[in-house]
Amino acid sequence: MTSAWYRLAEVSNNIIDQCVAQGVPFAREYGGLLANRSFGGAQVSRTFYAKGQTGQQLLLGAYSSLNRMIHAGKVKSYNRYEMHDVVIIDGSYNRYEMHDVVIIDGRARGIIAKNLVTGKLERFAAHAVVIATGGYGNTYFLSTNAMGCNCSAAMACYRHGAYFANPAYVQIHPTCIPVHGDKQSKLTLMSESLRNDGRIWVPKSIEDAKKLQAGQIKGSDIPEEERDYYLERRYPAFGNLVPRDVASRAAKERCDKGFGVNNTGKAVFLDFSEAINRLGIDVIRQRYGNLFDMYEEITDVNPGELANEINGVKYYNPMMIYPAIHYTMGGIWVDYELQTSIKGLFAIGECNFSDHGANRLGASALMQGLADGYFVLPYTIQNYLSDQITVPHFTTDTKEFDEAEKRVQANLDHMMAIHGKRSVDSIHKELGNVMWDYVGMARTKESLETALKKLKELRKEFETNLFIPGTQEGMNIELDKAFRLRDFITMGELIAYDALNRHESCGGHFREEHQTEEGEAKRDDENFFYVACWKYNGDDETAPTLIKEPLHYEAIKVQTRNYKS
Amino acid sequence: METNISFKLKVWRQKDAHAEGRFETYEMRDIPTDTSFLEMMDILNEQLIEKGEEPVTFDHDCREGICGMCSLYVNGHPHGPATGATTCQLYMRRFKDGDTITVEPWRSAAFPVIKDLMVNRNAFDQIQQAGGYVSFQTGGARDANAIPISKEAADEAMDSATCIGCGACVAACKNGSAMLFLSAKVSQFALLPQGRAEAKRRVKAMLAKMDELGFGNCTNTGALSVKDYLVSLRARRQETAR
């Protein structure tokens, strides 16, 4: 798999050209060439951007191209449909193959999807199936993922035998707006670009922290010399631009020691005073104005507002931030062709595991998603389809489709019939709490074993005490959420199994037993130099089987990251 | 500072596209002002489910103001009283204790109700499908720096590109016009050299589709934060080239 990285690096330059050709308005220098800026994990300015909404603009670019293909009649789009199962058909069925080789293993030949508006299941047959269904961050209930993000398609593939790789590698983003209370539904990401000009700090003295927590003083009341810019202190080479996992753990470390700056004690400051004093508010507003407005709408605090002056130094309202689940590096295992361990089934983008290893650096999720879709899969899938050229279009009128639909329907019927007392969200929140508390930023053997025990209980609660109002006819948002939650519980266990197995700290996975004296992650390359692939064992209750894919590096020497010097 | 407020919530309930809708009134008690409007709707739904009733169906997804799904018409304003923000970015501190808050779906013939507050905005997709793109084949794009673009043009195109297609302009417009949406797309592409070659064809195709889908035409109301007026003017200038 090492060469998948090489390929990504090769094609990623084309991404910008591709997007510019689509009409994505990337920022330009006065000379007319593309502008760059720095980003978390990088020491040089090398990221292309479109204001503070690059991802959104890339998405809109892709969407416009997709619309062009829909208009041309080459793509049919089914809005408000959700994949509920993948249909595997045994190769021997494929009697149309020219060569007389009997293929024993099954191939992905279609999906069962639910039309969410009518509530009806529908069948789709195909020569190959590609899932591009995103990550599993919402297993934690609170995350920066959109509310509809779910891992059900990936779980359907997993239950059919597709390996799930490195589920424990979950990325926690350092710059999110802190949780305000138990009614919170979602965490808002403040763009990482803020760390270019924002400085992260907590008070040096615990007394000041306590006063902040009690609401007796504000951040702007604390003068420069009383502030602990802990990232600059601990990582002088990268400062506020250390990678996300390092920044997140450092924030947790300060807050766990009692230096948190809001009423819950789970927040740190992100301060623009120095940048505003140096560059002026106009420049800063030009860079981050939309983010400042968004922050003010949510928290009622304007980060660009002059709040205090101490000894001639002007202090502006700082933002408060705290880490939150953001991205999942693990995913369905794929080979160099992006094909899963099931023939004819491909996984691209965040839902596969292939490009980010144990940690992901800023801007590279967009890079991978676009590279997979624009430049990799269109070529690799041809290698699979080339020997399918004589296979005529499938009918959905086969026993495999019958069985798959029956299975999905039985699951829906079962959930409707439980008639317990608890709403989907209440169980999902409980799942999120278990995951955050025991399988979150810092994990131990004990915490993971506790998590597995609690998740078993939670599945039982789901199976016996769930309540879904309404019927299966038409749109039923609770039924759709329940379908996803069932898979989130299985996903949660999968994360915990993997985290328990990996007795080392590596990237987004931090085991407290494995850290240096300075609290940095400590790898164990001797024993864990592999991709952990998990194979489903027939039912959700049974632990999956571990299959190790060893890592081989040829051109580079494996090292430990150093952000200090 | 966070406080709790109590208020009356009048919500449009409609079983499906064909059923007749009606307002239901719910008493909401002690809602923290730090909760978002959609979280307040979640609280309502939890209460309904607890009573064995069906929750209110509404569209939402990113909940951070970028996807444009949360198409709620609150107290007579698309996305509620805050300007330049989607419903998910609306917080309860905008409301007072004792208020009556009315929540409706987008009202437009081109956006039929699916259920309760959820509408079908597929008409926007169709307008864009008619021509809202640069005709360019994936793969083989030339070096982006070989097309120099002045900072001013790039910034102005970016202003238009901030349109997320939420449909608020249609909901706000007394004519149910999609001109702001259309203009944003048309301007973004026409301002950039990549999109200029087919600017005329694009605006004609998109306008024809908009008319066909039953949207009204334009008299400006000033509904959104996209630099709407300039953007809209530009599209109309292009339209006269028709």
- Summary mean pLDDT of chain B: 90
Instruction: Return the structure tokens found at A559.
Output: 């090292």
**Rounded distance between C-alpha atoms, residue A328 and residue A144, angstroms:** 11
- Could you tell me which residues are beta bridge partners of residue A319? A270
Question: Which of B138, B160, B182, B188 to mutate against chain A (most A CBs within 10 Å)?
Answer: B138
**Which of helix, strand or coil describes residue A322?**
strand
> pLDDT tens digits for A415-453?
999 999 999 999 999 999 999 999 999 999 999 999 999
What is the distance in angstroms between the Cα of A208 and the nearest Cα belonging to chain B? 20
CA angle B193, B199, B200 (to 5 degrees): 150
Given a contact cutoff of 8 angstroms between Cβ atoms, the answer to whether B32 and A181 are in contact is yes
Distances (CA, A) of A251 to A124, A237, A432: 47, 18, 20
Interface of B with A in 80-99 (CB under 8 A): 82, 84-85, 89-91, 93
Taking the C-alpha atoms of residue B231 and residue A557, their distance in angstroms, rounded to an integer, is 54
**ipTM value:** 0.91
**Structural contact between residues A185 and B36, judged by C-beta atoms closer than 8 angstroms:** yes
Q: Supply angle C-alpha A509, A514, A518, rounded to 5.
A: 100
Question: How far apart (Å, rounded) are the C-alpha atoms in residues B214 and B176?
Answer: 9
Q: In a mutagenesis test of the A interface, which of B47, B136, B164 is the best target, namely the one with the most A β-carbons within 10 Å?
A: B136
Question: What was the pLDDT predicted at A42?
Answer: 66
Across the interface, which of A57, A63, A475 has its CB nearest the CB of B114?
A475
| Residue B94 CB burial class (10 angstroms; 0-12, 13-18, ≥19) | middle
Nearest to A25 by CA among B205, B147, B66: B147
Q: How far is B65 from chain A (nearest CA, A)?
A: 8
In terms of DSSP H, where are the helices of B80-227? 122-129, 151-161, 168-172, 179-191, 193-196, 199-212
Please give the pLDDT value at position A51.
Answer: 83
The torsion angles phi and psi of A49, rounded to 5 degrees, stand at -150, 160
| Domain annotation for chain A: domains and CATH numbers | 2-78+129-173+325-388 (3.50.50.60), 175-322 (3.90.700.10), 399-529 (1.20.58.100)
Write the residue in B16, B38, B135 that is nearest to A185 by C-beta. Answer: B38
Whole-model pTM above 0.90?
yes
Provide, as residue numbers in chain B, all residues whose Cβ is less than 8 Å from the Cβ of A375: 139
Contacts with A, B 192-221, CB within 8 Å = 192, 194-195
Rounded Cα distance, A24 and A143, in Å: 27
Domains of chain B: 4-118 (3.10.20.30), 121-135+145-240 (1.10.1060)
C-alpha A355/C-alpha A369 separation (Å) is 10
Mean pLDDT per 10-residue run, chain A (565 residues)? 78 91 95 85 78 89 96 96 91 42 65 95 93 97 95 95 97 92 88 89 97 95 96 93 89 94 94 95 88 88 93 95 95 96 95 92 88 95 90 85 93 97 97 96 96 98 98 96 97 98 95 91 95 95 96 87 77
- CA A348: distance to chain centroid? 14
How far is the CA of A135 from the CAs of A332, A388, A491, in angstroms? 10, 30, 11
Q: Which residue of chain B is at minimal alpha-carbon distance from A51?
A: B158
Digit-by-digit pLDDT tens for chain B (242 residues) are 568 999 999 999 999 999 999 999 999 999 999 899 999 999 999 999 999 999 999 999 999 888 999 999 999 999 999 888 899 999 999 999 999 999 999 999 999 999 999 999 999 999 999 999 999 888 889 999 999 999 999 999 999 999 999 999 999 988 899 999 999 999 999 999 999 999 999 999 999 999 999 898 876 555 554 455 555 556 555 554 43
